[in-house]
Amino acid sequence: MPLNAIARAMLAHMNANPIDWASIAPQQFRAMSAGMEQPADPSDAIVQEDVDAGGVPARIYRRAEAAGPEPVLLFFHGGGYIACGISSHERLCSRLARRAECAIVSVDYRLAPEHVFPAAVDDALAALRWLGEHGGKHGLDTDRIAVGGDSAGGSLATVAAIRSRDEGGPAIRHQLLFYPGTDLTGETESERLYSDGYFLDSDFSAMCLDAYLPNPADRAHPWASPLLTPDLSGLPPATILTAECDPLRDEGRAYADRLRASGVPVRYKDYPGVFHGFVSMFGMLPDADETIADAARELQQAFAEIPA
């Protein structure tokens, strides 16, 4: 189906002043995106705590009324590995913490081009290990850890789960992935259909990948393209949520299919008529509010289940 009416109007507004991606540097885009950040909704009533997560800056979000250890989502932000951070996703993390009734630790991993692959991957694992070892000191239930993220952050979450499986933990209950990038080596049908004018343009993606993965051979590394991981068995259950009109749609679906084929429980849902990045537009785009409600419900269920 085509874009729904609200999504179409949003994209028309975004596309009214197109950016010549060939003429700007990643740092310039980083500054531009920082100028568009929106604060969290005060009604979510979230208390924050900044921490050093194994050498990686992070921020803990907890509901103001929370008492006792809470299950926790370790969250990795999107931004093409070159932009965004804790502040850009504070609104989303605060809403997820409220709706899912859990704590969230948002990770400020290093960005390219100053820090190329695998810096972000290593930061993700360092933060996960810190959470497993020290989260209890901050009111976090380290027996109930999930990992998640949007776009590039979704990819980092998958890789953190894989490396945790392979490199000694900690144990993870669930993966919550919003339109993750999982394969940087080929072109999918969704990339052909939605590579221009649907928020995540191909020229922007090329700029991000050139900055983060200056060695083209690294794009086939499983830590950059987790879909190419030889063995996906034994990973935590996953919720994978994609957007129909998104170049990354087919990568998310393919990852869901591979997880299922490897015996990993997966809930996959593709939201019709919306575009990449839509989840952050809750309060303006009803589909985003629906997606957050779905994600919160999946997290609550995962945290409530008794591990096998």
pTM tops 0.75, yes or no: yes
Q: Give the separation between CA 286 and CA 124, rounded to whole angstroms.
A: 31
Closest by CA to 175, choosing from 264, 263, 87, is: 264
Calculate mean pLDDT across residues 115-136.
Answer: 98
Model pLDDT, residue 22: 85
Q: Flag whether pLDDT at 307 surpasses 70.
A: no
- Annotated catalytic residues are 151, 246, 276
pLDDT of residue 8: 96
pLDDT of residue 257: 98
Per cent of the chain over pLDDT 70 is 99
Could you report the per-residue pLDDT of 240-271, keeping only the tens digit for each?
999 999 999 999 999 999 999 999 999 999 99
The confidence score (pLDDT) of residue 2 equals 86
Q: What's the chain's Rg over C-alpha atoms?
A: 18
Which whole number is the average pLDDT over 155-166? 98
Task: Give the list of residues 6+ apart from residue 41 with CB closer than 8 angstroms, or none.
Answer: 91, 94, 95, 283
For residue 20, give both structure tokens: 């010549």
**Parent domain of 158:** 5-304
How would residue 308 be classed by pLDDT, with cut points 50, 70 and 90?
low
User: For 91-99, what is the mean pLDDT?
Assistant: 98
Mean pLDDT across the stretch 125-134? 98
**Among 21-25, 131-135, 157-161, 250-254, the least confident range:** 21-25
Instruction: State residue 244's pLDDT score.
Output: 98
Q: Which two three-digit tokens encode residue 21?
A: 């991606």
Instruction: Report the domain count for the chain.
Output: 1
**Cβ 240 vs Cβ 251: under 8 Å:** no
Q: Is the pLDDT of residue 306 over 80?
A: no
Per-residue confidence (pLDDT) for residue 104, from 0 to 100: 98
Tokens matching residue 113: 């081009």
Q: Is 139 left (phi over 0), alpha (psi -120 to 50) or beta?
A: left
Task: State the CATH number of the domain containing residue 25.
Answer: 3.40.50.1820
pLDDT tens sequence across 223-232: 999 999 999 9
> Would you state the pLDDT for residue 305?
84
Q: What is the pLDDT of residues 1-50, one digit of tens each?
A: 689 999 999 999 999 988 888 889 999 999 999 998 999 999 999 999 99
Q: What is the mean pLDDT of the chain?
A: 96
Rounded CA separation 167/134 (Å) = 18
Amino acid at the residue 9 = A
